[in-house]
A and B are shown apart, each in its own frame.
Chain A
Amino acid sequence: MIGRRGWVSLTSVAATLLLWFVLTTATGLVSPGRFPSPTEFWQSLNQIATRGYAGAELANHAFHSVRLVVLGFLVAIATGVPLGLWMGWSRRAEAAINPIFLIIRPIPPLAWIPLAILWLGLGDAAKIMVIWFAAFVPAVINAFAGVRNIDRPIIEAARMLGTPRWRLVSEVIAPAASPMIFTGLRLSLQAAWTTLVAAELVGALVGIGFVLNMAQQDIYPGMILAGMVTVGILGWATTLLLGLAERRALAWNVAGRD
Protein backbone atom coordinates (compact mmCIF):
# COMPACT_ATOMS: atom_id res chain seq x y z
CA MET A 1 0.00 0.00 0.00
CA ILE A 2 1.23 3.46 -0.80
CA GLY A 3 0.35 5.97 1.89
CA ARG A 4 -0.52 9.63 1.42
CA ARG A 5 3.17 10.47 1.70
CA GLY A 6 4.03 8.08 -1.11
CA TRP A 7 1.39 9.55 -3.40
CA VAL A 8 2.62 13.08 -2.81
CA SER A 9 6.19 11.99 -3.54
CA LEU A 10 5.19 10.20 -6.73
CA THR A 11 3.20 13.21 -7.86
CA SER A 12 6.14 15.45 -7.12
CA VAL A 13 8.54 13.38 -9.23
CA ALA A 14 5.98 13.10 -12.02
CA ALA A 15 5.35 16.87 -11.95
CA THR A 16 9.08 17.55 -12.19
CA LEU A 17 9.41 15.25 -15.21
CA LEU A 18 6.41 16.95 -16.77
CA LEU A 19 7.90 20.37 -16.10
CA TRP A 20 11.12 19.20 -17.75
CA PHE A 21 9.15 18.14 -20.83
CA VAL A 22 7.14 21.38 -20.91
CA LEU A 23 10.17 23.66 -20.54
CA THR A 24 12.31 21.94 -23.15
CA THR A 25 10.11 20.18 -25.72
CA ALA A 26 6.63 21.67 -25.53
CA THR A 27 7.43 25.37 -25.19
CA GLY A 28 11.16 25.60 -25.88
CA LEU A 29 11.64 28.07 -23.04
CA VAL A 30 14.93 26.34 -22.25
CA SER A 31 16.97 26.04 -25.43
CA PRO A 32 18.37 22.61 -26.33
CA GLY A 33 21.88 24.10 -26.24
CA ARG A 34 21.47 24.70 -22.49
CA PHE A 35 19.64 21.68 -21.21
CA PRO A 36 18.56 18.54 -23.08
CA SER A 37 14.96 17.51 -23.63
CA PRO A 38 13.84 14.09 -22.35
CA THR A 39 14.11 12.68 -25.88
CA GLU A 40 17.65 13.97 -26.33
CA PHE A 41 18.61 12.55 -22.98
CA TRP A 42 17.19 9.17 -23.91
CA GLN A 43 18.91 9.17 -27.31
CA SER A 44 22.26 10.06 -25.71
CA LEU A 45 21.87 7.30 -23.17
CA ASN A 46 20.99 4.90 -25.94
CA GLN A 47 23.94 6.02 -28.04
CA ILE A 48 26.52 5.55 -25.31
CA ALA A 49 25.02 2.27 -24.14
CA THR A 50 24.90 0.61 -27.55
CA ARG A 51 27.30 2.38 -29.94
CA GLY A 52 29.61 4.01 -27.42
CA TYR A 53 30.87 7.56 -26.89
CA ALA A 54 34.29 8.93 -26.00
CA GLY A 55 36.00 5.75 -27.12
CA ALA A 56 33.96 3.13 -25.30
CA GLU A 57 30.51 1.93 -24.36
CA LEU A 58 28.80 3.03 -21.16
CA ALA A 59 29.45 -0.29 -19.44
CA ASN A 60 33.22 0.02 -20.09
CA HIS A 61 33.38 3.59 -18.81
CA ALA A 62 31.35 2.67 -15.75
CA PHE A 63 33.40 -0.46 -15.07
CA HIS A 64 36.62 1.51 -15.30
CA SER A 65 35.40 4.17 -12.86
CA VAL A 66 33.97 1.68 -10.38
CA ARG A 67 37.19 -0.34 -10.47
CA LEU A 68 39.27 2.74 -9.60
CA VAL A 69 36.92 3.76 -6.77
CA VAL A 70 36.94 0.24 -5.34
CA LEU A 71 40.73 -0.09 -5.59
CA GLY A 72 41.41 3.29 -4.00
CA PHE A 73 38.78 2.64 -1.36
CA LEU A 74 40.22 -0.77 -0.46
CA VAL A 75 43.75 0.60 -0.20
CA ALA A 76 42.39 3.36 2.05
CA ILE A 77 40.62 0.84 4.30
CA ALA A 78 43.68 -1.40 4.46
CA THR A 79 45.92 1.47 5.51
CA GLY A 80 43.57 3.87 7.29
CA VAL A 81 41.66 1.54 9.60
CA PRO A 82 44.76 -0.14 11.12
CA LEU A 83 46.42 3.26 11.56
CA GLY A 84 43.31 4.60 13.28
CA LEU A 85 43.07 1.54 15.53
CA TRP A 86 46.72 1.90 16.46
CA MET A 87 46.34 5.61 17.23
CA GLY A 88 43.33 4.78 19.36
CA TRP A 89 45.22 2.05 21.17
CA SER A 90 48.49 3.82 21.87
CA ARG A 91 48.60 7.32 23.32
CA ARG A 92 52.18 7.63 22.08
CA ALA A 93 51.24 6.80 18.50
CA GLU A 94 48.43 9.35 18.75
CA ALA A 95 50.77 12.04 20.09
CA ALA A 96 53.34 11.40 17.36
CA ILE A 97 51.00 11.09 14.36
CA ASN A 98 48.35 13.69 15.20
CA PRO A 99 50.52 16.75 14.42
CA ILE A 100 51.30 15.36 10.94
CA PHE A 101 47.59 14.88 10.43
CA LEU A 102 46.91 18.44 11.53
CA ILE A 103 49.12 19.67 8.71
CA ILE A 104 47.79 17.42 5.97
CA ARG A 105 44.10 17.24 6.86
CA PRO A 106 43.07 20.81 5.93
CA ILE A 107 44.22 20.24 2.33
CA PRO A 108 41.14 19.02 0.44
CA PRO A 109 41.70 15.76 -1.47
CA LEU A 110 40.87 17.51 -4.74
CA ALA A 111 43.87 19.81 -4.22
CA TRP A 112 46.13 16.76 -4.55
CA ILE A 113 45.02 16.14 -8.12
CA PRO A 114 47.60 18.40 -9.86
CA LEU A 115 50.40 16.94 -7.74
CA ALA A 116 49.23 13.38 -8.40
CA ILE A 117 49.23 14.06 -12.14
CA LEU A 118 52.72 15.56 -11.92
CA TRP A 119 53.98 12.53 -10.07
CA LEU A 120 52.12 9.69 -11.76
CA GLY A 121 50.77 11.05 -15.04
CA LEU A 122 47.25 10.79 -16.41
CA GLY A 123 46.84 7.05 -15.89
CA ASP A 124 45.14 4.99 -13.21
CA ALA A 125 47.92 5.29 -10.64
CA ALA A 126 47.34 9.03 -10.11
CA LYS A 127 43.61 8.45 -9.65
CA ILE A 128 44.12 5.66 -7.16
CA MET A 129 46.48 7.92 -5.23
CA VAL A 130 43.98 10.77 -4.88
CA ILE A 131 41.09 8.42 -4.12
CA TRP A 132 43.22 6.73 -1.49
CA PHE A 133 43.99 10.12 -0.03
CA ALA A 134 40.36 11.20 0.02
CA ALA A 135 39.11 8.00 1.61
CA PHE A 136 42.05 7.59 4.00
CA VAL A 137 41.32 10.52 6.33
CA PRO A 138 37.73 9.60 7.33
CA ALA A 139 38.80 5.95 7.73
CA VAL A 140 41.57 6.89 10.18
CA ILE A 141 39.54 9.40 12.17
CA ASN A 142 36.55 7.13 12.69
CA ALA A 143 38.59 4.04 13.54
CA PHE A 144 40.45 6.17 16.08
CA ALA A 145 37.26 7.55 17.59
CA GLY A 146 35.76 4.04 17.58
CA VAL A 147 38.56 2.69 19.78
CA ARG A 148 38.45 5.68 22.11
CA ASN A 149 34.71 5.25 22.66
CA ILE A 150 34.92 1.61 23.78
CA ASP A 151 33.84 1.18 27.39
CA ARG A 152 36.95 0.64 29.50
CA PRO A 153 35.41 -2.23 31.52
CA ILE A 154 35.08 -4.35 28.35
CA ILE A 155 38.80 -4.13 27.74
CA GLU A 156 39.67 -4.58 31.40
CA ALA A 157 37.49 -7.69 31.61
CA ALA A 158 39.16 -9.20 28.57
CA ARG A 159 42.57 -8.37 30.03
CA MET A 160 41.69 -9.92 33.36
CA LEU A 161 40.78 -13.14 31.58
CA GLY A 162 44.30 -13.19 30.22
CA THR A 163 43.38 -12.54 26.57
CA PRO A 164 46.54 -12.37 24.47
CA ARG A 165 47.28 -9.08 22.76
CA TRP A 166 46.43 -10.04 19.19
CA ARG A 167 43.15 -11.65 20.24
CA LEU A 168 42.34 -8.53 22.22
CA VAL A 169 42.73 -6.49 19.03
CA SER A 170 41.01 -8.89 16.63
CA GLU A 171 38.18 -10.05 18.91
CA VAL A 172 37.49 -7.12 21.22
CA ILE A 173 38.83 -3.82 19.94
CA ALA A 174 38.13 -4.14 16.21
CA PRO A 175 34.55 -5.46 16.61
CA ALA A 176 33.69 -2.90 19.29
CA ALA A 177 34.98 -0.08 17.09
CA SER A 178 33.33 -1.39 13.92
CA PRO A 179 30.08 0.66 14.04
CA MET A 180 32.18 3.84 14.05
CA ILE A 181 34.49 2.39 11.43
CA PHE A 182 31.56 1.82 9.07
CA THR A 183 30.35 5.38 9.62
CA GLY A 184 33.81 6.46 8.47
CA LEU A 185 33.69 4.15 5.46
CA ARG A 186 30.46 5.74 4.27
CA LEU A 187 32.12 9.16 4.30
CA SER A 188 35.16 7.61 2.64
CA LEU A 189 33.10 6.16 -0.19
CA GLN A 190 31.40 9.46 -0.88
CA ALA A 191 34.75 11.26 -0.91
CA ALA A 192 36.15 8.57 -3.22
CA TRP A 193 33.44 9.19 -5.83
CA THR A 194 33.77 12.97 -5.72
CA THR A 195 37.52 12.71 -6.11
CA LEU A 196 37.35 10.20 -8.93
CA VAL A 197 34.96 12.33 -10.96
CA ALA A 198 37.13 15.41 -10.43
CA ALA A 199 40.32 13.53 -11.32
CA GLU A 200 38.77 12.11 -14.48
CA LEU A 201 37.50 15.55 -15.44
CA VAL A 202 40.99 17.01 -15.10
CA GLY A 203 42.61 14.30 -17.19
CA ALA A 204 41.69 10.77 -18.28
CA LEU A 205 41.23 8.62 -21.37
CA VAL A 206 38.33 6.48 -20.20
CA GLY A 207 35.76 6.60 -17.37
CA ILE A 208 32.58 8.47 -16.50
CA GLY A 209 34.42 11.70 -15.71
CA PHE A 210 36.05 11.50 -19.13
CA VAL A 211 32.61 11.09 -20.74
CA LEU A 212 31.51 14.27 -18.94
CA ASN A 213 34.64 16.04 -20.10
CA MET A 214 34.17 15.05 -23.76
CA ALA A 215 30.47 15.91 -23.68
CA GLN A 216 31.39 19.34 -22.31
CA GLN A 217 33.90 19.91 -25.10
CA ASP A 218 31.47 18.67 -27.76
CA ILE A 219 28.73 20.89 -26.25
CA TYR A 220 26.47 17.85 -26.04
CA PRO A 221 23.96 18.51 -23.20
CA GLY A 222 22.17 15.17 -23.63
CA MET A 223 25.40 13.27 -23.00
CA ILE A 224 26.32 15.51 -20.06
CA LEU A 225 23.04 14.61 -18.39
CA ALA A 226 23.51 10.93 -19.23
CA GLY A 227 26.95 11.04 -17.57
CA MET A 228 25.62 12.83 -14.49
CA VAL A 229 22.78 10.33 -14.06
CA THR A 230 25.28 7.48 -14.37
CA VAL A 231 27.49 9.03 -11.69
CA GLY A 232 24.46 9.33 -9.41
CA ILE A 233 23.34 5.74 -9.97
CA LEU A 234 26.83 4.32 -9.45
CA GLY A 235 27.26 6.33 -6.24
CA TRP A 236 23.89 5.16 -5.01
CA ALA A 237 24.57 1.50 -5.87
CA THR A 238 27.97 1.39 -4.16
CA THR A 239 26.53 3.06 -1.05
CA LEU A 240 23.79 0.43 -1.02
CA LEU A 241 26.36 -2.37 -1.24
CA LEU A 242 28.35 -0.87 1.61
CA GLY A 243 25.14 -0.70 3.66
CA LEU A 244 24.53 -4.40 3.03
CA ALA A 245 28.10 -5.26 4.03
CA GLU A 246 27.64 -3.21 7.17
CA ARG A 247 24.46 -5.02 8.12
CA ARG A 248 26.19 -8.34 7.64
CA ALA A 249 29.27 -7.40 9.60
CA LEU A 250 27.31 -5.83 12.43
CA ALA A 251 24.55 -8.44 12.68
CA TRP A 252 25.62 -9.07 16.28
CA ASN A 253 25.06 -5.44 17.19
CA VAL A 254 21.40 -5.31 18.16
CA ALA A 255 21.56 -1.61 19.01
CA GLY A 256 22.77 -0.85 15.50
CA ARG A 257 19.75 -2.43 13.82
CA ASP A 258 17.07 -0.18 12.45
Chain B
Amino acid sequence: MSHAPLRLGEKLAWGLLGLAGFIGLWTLLSVSGIVPRQFLPSPLDVLMRTLQLSSTPFAGATLPQHLASSLQRYALGVLLAAGIGVPLGLLMGWFRLLDDIVTPLFDGLRFIAPIAWVPFAALWFGTGIGGPVLIIFAGAFPPCLINAYRGARFVEPRLIEAARMLGTGHLRMILEILLPAATPSIVAGLRVSAGLGWQSLVGAELIVAAAGVGFMMVQAQANVATPTVMAGMAAIGIVGMLIDILLRQGEAWLRRRRGLEA
Protein backbone atom coordinates (compact mmCIF):
# COMPACT_ATOMS: atom_id res chain seq x y z
CA MET B 1 0.00 0.00 0.00
CA SER B 2 1.62 3.16 1.19
CA HIS B 3 4.91 1.39 1.56
CA ALA B 4 6.52 -1.44 -0.31
CA PRO B 5 6.74 -4.67 1.69
CA LEU B 6 9.18 -4.27 4.57
CA ARG B 7 12.53 -5.99 4.60
CA LEU B 8 12.66 -8.98 6.94
CA GLY B 9 14.85 -7.23 9.51
CA GLU B 10 12.58 -4.21 9.63
CA LYS B 11 9.52 -6.43 9.94
CA LEU B 12 11.07 -8.34 12.82
CA ALA B 13 12.05 -5.11 14.56
CA TRP B 14 8.51 -3.72 14.36
CA GLY B 15 7.09 -7.05 15.49
CA LEU B 16 9.37 -7.17 18.51
CA LEU B 17 8.50 -3.57 19.29
CA GLY B 18 4.78 -4.38 19.20
CA LEU B 19 5.18 -7.45 21.41
CA ALA B 20 7.44 -5.61 23.84
CA GLY B 21 4.89 -2.80 24.06
CA PHE B 22 2.07 -5.25 24.73
CA ILE B 23 3.88 -7.31 27.36
CA GLY B 24 5.48 -4.19 28.85
CA LEU B 25 2.13 -2.43 29.27
CA TRP B 26 0.58 -5.56 30.79
CA THR B 27 3.46 -5.96 33.26
CA LEU B 28 3.46 -2.27 34.12
CA LEU B 29 -0.28 -2.17 34.83
CA SER B 30 -0.02 -5.23 37.02
CA VAL B 31 3.23 -4.66 38.93
CA SER B 32 2.64 -0.96 39.54
CA GLY B 33 -0.70 -1.79 41.13
CA ILE B 34 -2.71 0.51 38.80
CA VAL B 35 -4.86 -2.57 38.29
CA PRO B 36 -4.89 -4.70 41.48
CA ARG B 37 -2.57 -7.63 40.98
CA GLN B 38 -5.24 -9.97 42.21
CA PHE B 39 -7.26 -9.16 39.07
CA LEU B 40 -4.44 -8.66 36.61
CA PRO B 41 -1.49 -10.91 37.41
CA SER B 42 1.71 -10.17 35.51
CA PRO B 43 2.68 -12.31 32.50
CA LEU B 44 5.31 -14.00 34.67
CA ASP B 45 2.70 -14.85 37.34
CA VAL B 46 0.54 -16.51 34.67
CA LEU B 47 3.49 -18.47 33.29
CA MET B 48 4.49 -19.67 36.77
CA ARG B 49 0.91 -20.65 37.57
CA THR B 50 0.62 -22.58 34.31
CA LEU B 51 3.77 -24.54 35.10
CA GLN B 52 2.61 -25.12 38.66
CA LEU B 53 -0.79 -26.41 37.47
CA SER B 54 0.90 -29.12 35.45
CA SER B 55 1.73 -30.90 38.72
CA THR B 56 -0.60 -29.46 41.42
CA PRO B 57 -4.28 -30.21 40.93
CA PHE B 58 -6.98 -27.52 40.84
CA ALA B 59 -10.71 -28.35 40.82
CA GLY B 60 -9.94 -32.04 41.16
CA ALA B 61 -7.25 -32.51 38.54
CA THR B 62 -4.03 -31.09 37.15
CA LEU B 63 -4.09 -28.98 34.00
CA PRO B 64 -2.92 -31.85 31.74
CA GLN B 65 -5.65 -34.08 33.19
CA HIS B 66 -8.30 -31.41 32.57
CA LEU B 67 -6.97 -31.01 29.04
CA ALA B 68 -7.11 -34.76 28.48
CA SER B 69 -10.78 -34.96 29.42
CA SER B 70 -11.55 -31.90 27.27
CA LEU B 71 -9.74 -33.39 24.28
CA GLN B 72 -11.56 -36.69 24.66
CA ARG B 73 -14.96 -35.00 24.43
CA TYR B 74 -13.74 -32.78 21.65
CA ALA B 75 -12.53 -35.69 19.54
CA LEU B 76 -15.80 -37.54 20.03
CA GLY B 77 -17.93 -34.51 19.12
CA VAL B 78 -15.94 -33.57 16.04
CA LEU B 79 -15.73 -37.17 14.78
CA LEU B 80 -19.49 -37.52 15.15
CA ALA B 81 -20.05 -34.25 13.28
CA ALA B 82 -17.73 -35.30 10.44
CA GLY B 83 -19.07 -38.86 10.40
CA ILE B 84 -22.65 -37.68 9.93
CA GLY B 85 -22.15 -34.30 8.23
CA VAL B 86 -19.85 -35.33 5.38
CA PRO B 87 -21.83 -38.37 4.13
CA LEU B 88 -25.12 -36.49 4.49
CA GLY B 89 -23.69 -33.52 2.57
CA LEU B 90 -22.49 -35.78 -0.26
CA LEU B 91 -25.85 -37.55 -0.44
CA MET B 92 -27.64 -34.19 -0.54
CA GLY B 93 -25.30 -33.09 -3.31
CA TRP B 94 -26.28 -36.13 -5.39
CA PHE B 95 -29.98 -36.75 -4.60
CA ARG B 96 -31.91 -33.56 -5.28
CA LEU B 97 -34.94 -34.83 -3.36
CA LEU B 98 -32.91 -35.30 -0.17
CA ASP B 99 -31.52 -31.80 -0.63
CA ASP B 100 -35.02 -30.32 -0.81
CA ILE B 101 -36.08 -32.27 2.25
CA VAL B 102 -33.14 -31.52 4.53
CA THR B 103 -32.26 -27.93 3.54
CA PRO B 104 -35.28 -26.13 5.07
CA LEU B 105 -34.88 -28.01 8.37
CA PHE B 106 -31.15 -27.40 8.45
CA ASP B 107 -31.54 -23.68 7.66
CA GLY B 108 -34.04 -23.35 10.47
CA LEU B 109 -31.73 -24.99 13.01
CA ARG B 110 -28.64 -23.11 11.89
CA PHE B 111 -29.70 -19.79 13.39
CA ILE B 112 -29.82 -21.28 16.87
CA ALA B 113 -26.39 -20.71 18.39
CA PRO B 114 -24.82 -24.10 19.31
CA ILE B 115 -24.43 -22.91 22.86
CA ALA B 116 -28.22 -22.53 23.17
CA TRP B 117 -28.40 -26.35 23.23
CA VAL B 118 -26.82 -26.30 26.70
CA PRO B 119 -30.09 -26.58 28.68
CA PHE B 120 -31.24 -29.61 26.70
CA ALA B 121 -27.75 -31.08 26.91
CA ALA B 122 -27.91 -30.75 30.68
CA LEU B 123 -31.42 -32.15 30.79
CA TRP B 124 -30.60 -35.16 28.64
CA PHE B 125 -27.10 -36.03 29.82
CA GLY B 126 -26.42 -34.27 33.14
CA THR B 127 -22.80 -33.28 33.61
CA GLY B 128 -21.50 -36.47 31.97
CA ILE B 129 -19.65 -36.70 28.70
CA GLY B 130 -22.82 -36.54 26.57
CA GLY B 131 -23.67 -32.89 27.24
CA PRO B 132 -20.45 -31.30 25.99
CA VAL B 133 -20.32 -33.76 23.08
CA LEU B 134 -23.79 -32.67 21.94
CA ILE B 135 -22.75 -29.01 21.98
CA ILE B 136 -19.46 -29.65 20.19
CA PHE B 137 -21.45 -31.60 17.62
CA ALA B 138 -23.90 -28.69 17.21
CA GLY B 139 -20.98 -26.33 16.62
CA ALA B 140 -18.94 -28.53 14.30
CA PHE B 141 -21.75 -30.10 12.23
CA PRO B 142 -22.83 -27.25 9.89
CA PRO B 143 -19.48 -26.62 8.14
CA CYS B 144 -19.00 -30.38 7.60
CA LEU B 145 -22.37 -30.67 5.92
CA ILE B 146 -22.25 -27.41 3.95
CA ASN B 147 -18.78 -27.96 2.52
CA ALA B 148 -19.39 -31.58 1.54
CA TYR B 149 -22.65 -30.48 -0.11
CA ARG B 150 -21.07 -27.58 -2.00
CA GLY B 151 -18.12 -29.72 -3.02
CA ALA B 152 -20.46 -32.37 -4.40
CA ARG B 153 -22.79 -29.89 -6.11
CA PHE B 154 -20.03 -28.10 -7.98
CA VAL B 155 -18.28 -31.12 -9.42
CA GLU B 156 -17.57 -30.56 -13.08
CA PRO B 157 -20.70 -31.76 -14.96
CA ARG B 158 -18.58 -33.39 -17.67
CA LEU B 159 -17.12 -35.79 -15.11
CA ILE B 160 -20.59 -36.81 -13.98
CA GLU B 161 -21.88 -37.17 -17.53
CA ALA B 162 -18.90 -39.30 -18.51
CA ALA B 163 -19.35 -41.55 -15.50
CA ARG B 164 -23.07 -41.78 -16.13
CA MET B 165 -22.53 -42.75 -19.74
CA LEU B 166 -20.36 -45.60 -18.52
CA GLY B 167 -23.29 -46.80 -16.42
CA THR B 168 -21.90 -45.91 -12.99
CA GLY B 169 -24.35 -46.63 -10.14
CA HIS B 170 -25.33 -44.24 -7.35
CA LEU B 171 -22.96 -45.65 -4.74
CA ARG B 172 -19.91 -45.68 -6.98
CA MET B 173 -20.81 -42.26 -8.33
CA ILE B 174 -20.74 -40.82 -4.80
CA LEU B 175 -17.66 -42.72 -3.61
CA GLU B 176 -15.53 -42.53 -6.73
CA ILE B 177 -16.57 -39.28 -8.43
CA LEU B 178 -18.16 -36.88 -5.92
CA LEU B 179 -16.01 -37.73 -2.88
CA PRO B 180 -12.62 -37.27 -4.54
CA ALA B 181 -13.74 -34.14 -6.38
CA ALA B 182 -15.20 -32.64 -3.20
CA THR B 183 -12.23 -33.48 -0.98
CA PRO B 184 -10.59 -30.01 -0.97
CA SER B 185 -13.87 -28.41 0.01
CA ILE B 186 -14.51 -31.08 2.66
CA VAL B 187 -11.08 -30.62 4.20
CA ALA B 188 -11.55 -26.85 4.33
CA GLY B 189 -14.88 -27.47 6.07
CA LEU B 190 -13.25 -29.81 8.58
CA ARG B 191 -10.80 -27.09 9.52
CA VAL B 192 -13.60 -24.63 10.18
CA SER B 193 -15.45 -27.34 12.11
CA ALA B 194 -12.44 -28.08 14.24
CA GLY B 195 -12.19 -24.42 15.24
CA LEU B 196 -15.89 -24.00 15.96
CA GLY B 197 -15.95 -27.30 17.85
CA TRP B 198 -13.10 -26.17 20.08
CA GLN B 199 -14.91 -22.92 20.78
CA SER B 200 -18.15 -24.77 21.59
CA LEU B 201 -16.27 -27.13 23.88
CA VAL B 202 -15.05 -24.23 25.97
CA GLY B 203 -18.57 -22.81 26.18
CA ALA B 204 -20.05 -26.18 27.10
CA GLU B 205 -17.50 -26.81 29.81
CA LEU B 206 -18.15 -23.43 31.39
CA ILE B 207 -21.71 -24.53 32.02
CA VAL B 208 -22.24 -28.31 31.95
CA ALA B 209 -19.19 -30.24 33.03
CA ALA B 210 -17.52 -31.66 36.10
CA ALA B 211 -14.02 -31.75 34.58
CA GLY B 212 -12.11 -30.16 31.73
CA VAL B 213 -10.33 -26.86 31.19
CA GLY B 214 -13.53 -24.80 30.97
CA PHE B 215 -14.72 -26.29 34.26
CA MET B 216 -11.38 -25.47 35.86
CA MET B 217 -11.73 -21.84 34.70
CA VAL B 218 -15.23 -21.43 36.11
CA GLN B 219 -14.08 -22.85 39.45
CA ALA B 220 -11.11 -20.48 39.41
CA GLN B 221 -13.43 -17.58 38.64
CA ALA B 222 -15.61 -18.46 41.64
CA ASN B 223 -12.47 -18.48 43.82
CA VAL B 224 -11.16 -15.22 42.33
CA ALA B 225 -8.05 -17.10 41.23
CA THR B 226 -7.19 -14.90 38.24
CA PRO B 227 -3.82 -16.53 37.44
CA THR B 228 -5.57 -19.91 37.14
CA VAL B 229 -8.25 -18.43 34.84
CA MET B 230 -5.52 -16.98 32.63
CA ALA B 231 -3.54 -20.22 32.69
CA GLY B 232 -6.70 -21.93 31.41
CA MET B 233 -7.03 -19.37 28.62
CA ALA B 234 -3.41 -19.90 27.65
CA ALA B 235 -3.86 -23.68 27.57
CA ILE B 236 -7.01 -23.37 25.45
CA GLY B 237 -5.29 -20.98 23.06
CA ILE B 238 -2.20 -23.15 22.65
CA VAL B 239 -4.10 -26.40 22.12
CA GLY B 240 -6.48 -24.70 19.68
CA MET B 241 -3.53 -23.39 17.73
CA LEU B 242 -1.85 -26.81 17.67
CA ILE B 243 -5.04 -28.40 16.32
CA ASP B 244 -5.18 -25.81 13.56
CA ILE B 245 -1.52 -26.28 12.65
CA LEU B 246 -2.00 -30.05 12.53
CA LEU B 247 -4.99 -29.73 10.18
CA ARG B 248 -3.15 -27.24 7.97
CA GLN B 249 -0.31 -29.74 7.65
CA GLY B 250 -2.81 -32.45 6.78
CA GLU B 251 -4.39 -30.21 4.15
CA ALA B 252 -1.00 -29.39 2.60
CA TRP B 253 -0.03 -33.05 2.61
CA LEU B 254 -3.27 -33.97 0.86
CA ARG B 255 -2.77 -31.28 -1.75
CA ARG B 256 0.76 -32.47 -2.47
CA ARG B 257 -0.39 -36.05 -2.82
CA ARG B 258 -3.19 -35.09 -5.17
CA GLY B 259 -0.79 -32.91 -7.12
CA LEU B 260 1.47 -35.90 -7.68
CA GLU B 261 -1.39 -38.12 -8.76
CA ALA B 262 -2.90 -35.66 -11.21
Contacts and interface: CB of A to CB of B under 8 A. Distances in A.
Interface string B13-30: 011111101100000000
A228 B123 CA distance: 14
Which of B1, B2, B21 lies at the interface centre, i.e. has the most chain A CB atoms within 10 A of its CB? B1
Contact of B217 (A12, A13, A100, A114): A114
Interface of A: 5, 8-9, 11-13, 16, 33-35, 88-92, 95-100, 103-104, 106-115, 117-119, 147-148, 155, 190, 193-194, 197-198, 201-202, 212-213, 215-216, 219, 221, 224, 227-229, 231-233, 235-236, 239
A40 B25 CA distance: 55
Interface of B: 1-6, 10-11, 14-19, 21-22, 39, 97, 100-105, 108-109, 111-120, 122-124, 198-199, 202-203, 206-207, 214, 217-218, 220-221, 224, 226, 229-230, 232-234, 236-238, 240-241, 244
Interface of chain B: mostly helix, strand, loop or mixed: helix
A197 B207 contact: no
12 contacts: A88-B1, A95-B10, A96-B21, A103-B19, A108-B199, A108-B236, A111-B237, A118-B39, A198-B203, A198-B207, A215-B119, A236-B111
Nearest to A101: B18
Contacts of A239: 111
Given A212-B119, A216-B119, A224-B123, A89 B1 contact: yes
Given A107-B236, A108-B198, A115-B226, 15 more contacts: A9-B100, A9-B104, A33-B123, A91-B1, A95-B10, A96-B18, A96-B21, A99-B18, A106-B244, A111-B217, A114-B221, A148-B1, A228-B116, A231-B112, A231-B113
B112 A90 contact: no
A165 to B, nearest CB: 9
Contacts of B119: 212-213, 215-216, 224, 227-228
